Amino acid sequence: MALYDRREILMIERFIRGAQSIPRRLRLKAHGMHRIAPCVMILGFFLQGCGLLFDAAEMVHPLTRDELSTICDRGQLRVGISVEPFRPFVFPAVYTDEGVRVTGLDVELIREVADALTRHCGGHKAIVPTLHLTRFRDLFIEVNEGHLDLFVSSFSGNVPGASPLGLWSSIPYFPDGGIGAIIHDPKVAERVWAQFRQQGGQADTLAAIQKGLSGLTVAVQNGRNAQLYAQANLERTRLLLCDSLPAAVETKDPRIDVILADHSILHYVTTRVWPDWRLLERPDGSRLILTQEYFSIVTGEEKRRLQWFLNNLLYRLEESGRLAQMRRRWLEETYAPTRRATAEGLPLEGSKVPDHYDQGLCRMVGGK
């Protein structure tokens, strides 16, 4: 190991930390030896010999650090959740005697991950989960620039186009997802049922939906899977793009015939929140799901140790029956979300609550 004086070490440290501060999306653009040559020349001015470069770099920042060790050292798990609450996975924030709290199936899962990390890190100090409201369009940047360790908000990991490059999805924690539909007018259901009946026992859900909804106004949420589904499959409908699910429910002009969203979320809200809407079902009364999806935890594609940690944890939770118990607890039981938020919710910064409740607007695709 070579020896350096204090002035050299400080200059090296400032250079390396400055390089680390460059956003990852910009660093990825700089590839090829001709791009990194200036950096090598600058460091060469301070250091003599190639081996000395790595000696000094390790003094400033160990090269063997990984994301799990970083979380252990930090004592904090930074988790992104969607700006819009998706009941029963994340409920709207409530004010309690302990401050603003949020709860839901996803929040309970976040607690499980944090507890498992506490054990992994030796149990000397608790790993504290902190919630960060995140929009889907910003997810890639937030994860890859190191602002978030992971993201948990009813994210479907198997939908074409849903997961941006650079992100990774875990094995399912909710395997029974899929897109559903809610309606106001029973005549819409009759249109779809007529298409199923014409199929003579050879059920083709996509064909029935395409013909049954033809000419109708269909609302979807911007950036969610229902938008991708509608744009790929429902060319003969009028598509209304909404900033949130509540915005679609409250829009009166234009008149909305159908709202597409995650079936499990729609089932909850039509049963307990929006009784004026009802689920679109099959002619025999069974549930109608347009796709098969599952919900996953999201993290960066290069975070291999964290990925294995999450997959192994989710496998153990499923194997032990704990995940099934969590799903029953939030989707099937009768409960008061505010009481659960008070008893077991995670804190949310009060200044973020207005964003949490911002429903936004709806607009026709193409400005029609």
- Residue keyed to tokens 């709207």: 92
pLDDT band per the 50, 70, 90 thresholds, residue 46: very low
Q: In degrees, to the nearest 5, what angle opens at C-alpha 277 toward C-alphas 86 and 216?
A: 100
Instruction: Please tell me the predicted confidence (pLDDT) of residue 36.
Output: 47
Which of 276, 291, 306 is at the close of a domain? Answer: 291
Domain termination site, one of 64, 90, 106? 64
User: CA-to-CA distance for 193 and 212, rounded, in angstroms?
Assistant: 8
How much of the chain exceeds pLDDT 90, in percent?
67
Supply 40's token pair: 């090598």
CA geometry: angle 55, 59, 65, nearest 5 deg: 100
**Residue pLDDT, tens place only, 202-252:** 889 999 999 999 999 999 998 889 999 999 999 999 999 999 999 999 999
Q: What is the pLDDT of residue 11?
A: 52
Answer for the pair 306, 125: CB distance below 8 angstroms, yes or no: no
CA distances from residue 160 to 93, 157, 174, 218, 224 in whole angstroms, order as listed: 31, 9, 18, 20, 11
Shared-domain flag, residues 54 and 78: no
Where residue 22 falls among pLDDT bands split at 50, 70, 90? Answer: low
Q: What is the mean pLDDT of residues 330-347?
A: 96
Position 21 in a domain: yes
Structural domain contains residue 245? yes
Please give the average per-residue pLDDT across 173-184, as a whole number. Answer: 95
* One domain for residues 256 and 201: yes
Q: 158 and 122 share a domain?
A: yes
Cα–Cα distances (Å) from 233 to 156, 214, 224, 264, 327, in that order, read: 18, 11, 15, 21, 30
Q: How many residues does the chain have?
A: 368
Q: What counts of helices (H) and strands (E) characterise the chain?
A: 16, 15
Nearest in space to 59 (alpha carbons), one of 68, 47, 77, 71 = 47
Predicted local confidence at residue 238, as pLDDT:
97
Overall number of domains in the chain: 3
For residues 251 and 105, membership in a common domain is answered with no
Q: How far apart, in Å, are the Cα atoms of 150 and each of 162, 223, 270? A: 16, 19, 30
Asked if the model's pLDDT at residue 97 lies above 50, the reply is yes
366 domain-assigned: no
User: At 162, which amino acid appears?
Assistant: A
Same domain, 191 and 260: yes
Q: Is residue 208 part of a domain?
A: yes
Verify that 246 and 157 share a domain, yes or no.
no
Query: Are 285 and 203 found together in one domain?
Result: yes
287-324 pLDDT, tens digit each: 999 999 999 999 999 999 999 999 999 999 999 999 99
- Characterize 320-339 residue by residue with b for buried, 16 or more Cβ atoms within 10 angstroms of its Cβ, and e for exposed: eeebeebbeebeeeeeebbe
Average pLDDT over residues 146-165: 85
Q: Which of 291, 314, 345 is the last residue of a domain?
A: 291
Owning domain of residue 59: 6-64
Q: Which residue has the tokens 């309606």?
A: 183
76 and 158, same domain (yes or no): yes
Strand blocks (E) in the chain: 76-82, 94-96, 99-102, 128-134, 150-156, 167-169, 174-177, 179-183, 217-221, 238-242, 258-262, 278-279, 293-300, 346-347, 362-364
Instruction: For residue 1, tell me if it sits in a domain.
Output: no
Measure the CA–CA gap between 9 and 13, rounded to whole angstroms. Answer: 6
Q: Distance between CA 267 and CA 201 in Å, rounded?
A: 26
Residues 6+ apart with CB under 8 A from 216: 188, 237, 238, 257, 258
> In this predicted structure, what is the pLDDT of residue 273?
93
- 281 with 310, same domain: the answer is no
Q: What is the pTM of this model?
A: 0.80
Residues 152 and 107 in one domain: yes
